[in-house]
Amino acid sequence: MKDTIKSWFGFAAFVLALHSGLVAAHGKVNLESDACTRNMAGSMVHLSTYQPQHDPEAEYCTEIPREGETLWVLDLVDQALRDMPIGIKVVRGDGGDLSETVASLYSTSHSSGIIKGEFNLDEGHYTMLVTGEGVPPLYYEYPLRIQMKTYRDMFFIAVPYIITFLLIMLMTDKLLKRRTGN
């Protein structure tokens, strides 16, 4: 019985450790392996999004947890991008239909390498299109998901409850067997 309980607690600790690592917002990752970095022809851009009204310290990329006011920062990592005009559009859907543009910005002065803005988006799928108007032109896409749950998210939310339920069932079963003498 002790071995069974130790096994279950070991499994529960493993799952909880795995769960907490996946939930963390993006941060403290090197730039080349960051999911928010786009690289084209040796030029890199990095997107960060924030919702300080909900969580002042959290930084997101393309999975934005709530609808509403969202601040975004586009870092132009390479110097060449800082010297060319940059166009930014946020469109509803996958970016194929530019007639559904919900926000746009055109920047010619960004010597610091940072372009900032904000948008107020409803729940759903959007795409941020970033175009560097150089020779050749550079084109980056960021799919944005606003307040959308995935099955993976729901699974990791449910795992601690499932494990707790199973442990209670196991202990109840052992206790009932002990009382009946089986």
Q: Residue 29: inside a domain, yes or no?
A: no
The answer on 86 and 163 residing in a single domain is no
The answer on 50 and 18 residing in a single domain is no
Is the pTM higher than 0.75? no
The answer on 125 and 51 residing in a single domain is yes
Instruction: Label residue 173 by pLDDT band (50, 70, 90).
Output: confident
Q: What residue type is 156 in one-letter code?
A: F
The total number of structural domains that make up the chain: 2
**Residue 2 or residue 51, greater confidence:** 51
Tens digit of each residue's pLDDT (9 = 90 or more) over 96-152: 766 688 889 998 888 899 999 998 888 888 999 999 888 888 889 999 988 866 667
Check whether 8 has a pLDDT greater than 70. Answer: no
The answer on 6 and 64 residing in a single domain is no
The answer on 121 and 182 residing in a single domain is no
Task: Summarize the confidence of residues 91-97 as an average pLDDT.
Answer: 78
Q: Residue 72: inside a domain, yes or no?
A: yes
Q: Residue 140: give the domain boundaries.
A: 34-148
For 116-135, give one letter per residue: b (16+ CB within 10 A) or e: ebebebeeeebbbbbbbeee
